[in-house]
A and B are shown apart, each in its own frame.
Chain A
Amino acid sequence: MDDYSEKKQACLSNLEELARIGKASLCPAQAVRISIGLATCGQAVGAMDLKERLINRQWDSTVQVVSVGCIGACYAEPLVDVRMPDGIHYFFGKMNSKMIWHIIRTAEGEVPTQYFWAIAKERQTGVVRSFADLEIVKVNLGGFDEFFLSQVKRISGRCGLIDPANLAEYVATGGYLALKKALFFLKPKDIIAFVADSGLRGRGGAGFLAASKWKITAESVDPIRFVVANADEGDPGAYMDRVLLESDPQAVLEGLILTSYAVGASRAYIFVRHEYSLAVSALRHAIECAKQAGLLGQNILGSDFSLRVTVIESAGAFVCGEETSMLQVIEGKRGTPHLRPPYPAVSGLKSHPTIINNVETLANIPWIVLNGAKEYRAVGTQQSPGTKLFCLTGDVKRTGFIEVPMGISSKIVFEKIGGTRAKKIKALQIGGPAGGILKYGDFNMDYETLASEGGCLGSGGLVVLNFRRCLVDLARHLISFMARESCGRCTICRDGLKKLESMFITLTSGKAEVKILDEIEELSHVIADLSLCGLGRTSVNSVLTTLRYFRSEYIEHTKGVCPAIFCKAMIDFEIIQSQCRDCRSCYVVCPSGAVSARSGKQRFFVDLKLCIRCWACYETCPFACIKSTSGDYV
Chain B
Amino acid sequence: MPENKLKDMQHLSEDEKEIMNILNYAQDKTGFIPRSLLIELAENFSIPESQLHSLISFFNNFHTRPAGKHRLSVCCGTACYARGASLIYDRLEETLELDEDGTSPDGFVTVDRVYCIGACSIAPAVIEDEEIKGKIKSHQVPLLIEELRKKG
Which A residues fall within an 8 A CB radius of B?
40-41, 43-45, 74-75, 77, 233-239, 242-243, 274-277, 309-318, 329-330, 332-335, 391, 393-395, 399-400, 429, 432-433, 461, 463, 465, 469, 474, 477-478, 481, 484, 487, 589, 591, 612, 614-616, 619-620
Contact = CB atoms under 8 A, between A and B. Distances in A.
Contact of A334 (B55, B76, B137): B55
Contact of B60 (A236, A311, A317): A317
A-B interface, 8 closest residue pairs, ranked by CB to CB distance from nearest:
A236-B77, A239-B118, A74-B121, A393-B120, A616-B139, A236-B116, A315-B59, A44-B132
Instruction: Give chain B's interface secondary structure class.
Output: helix
Contacts of A432: 78
Contact of A332 (B55, B57, B81): B55
Contact of B21 (A40, A312, A395): A312
Contacts of B57: 334
A40 B59 CA distance: 23
Which of B90, B115, B118 has most chain A Cβ within 10 Å? B118
Contact of B118 (A77, A276, A333, A463): A276
Given A316-B61, A481-B115, A619-B139, A333 B55 contact: yes
A539 to B, nearest CB: 14
Given A275-B61, A334-B58, A310 B132 contact: no
A620 B140 CA distance: 10
Given A44-B133, A399-B120, A615-B138, A333 B20 contact: no
A44 B18 contact: no
Interface in B49-72: 51-52, 54-55, 57-62
Given A234-B116, A614-B139, A43 B132 contact: yes
Nearest to B88: A614
Contact of A463 (B24, B27, B78): B78
Contacts of A316: 59-61, 114-115
Contact of A44 (B59, B86, B122, B138): B122
Contacts of A465: 82
A121 B13 CA distance: 44
A621 to B, nearest CB: 11
Contact of A313 (B21, B60, B115): B21
B3 interface: no
28 contacts: A40-B132, A236-B79, A236-B116, A237-B77, A237-B78, A237-B79, A237-B120, A239-B116, A242-B118, A309-B15, A314-B20, A315-B24, A317-B59, A318-B115, A329-B20, A332-B47, A332-B55, A334-B58, A391-B120, A394-B78, A394-B120, A399-B120, A399-B121, A429-B78, A477-B86, A614-B87, A614-B91, A619-B137
A277 B114 CA distance: 14
A77 B116 contact: no
Nearest to B139: A616
A615 B87 contact: yes
A332 B78 contact: no
B18 A41 contact: no
A332 B76 contact: no
B122 to A, nearest CB: 5
Interface in B84-114: 84, 86-87, 90-91, 94-95, 114
Contact of A395 (B23, B82, B87, B90): B82
Nearest to B132: A44
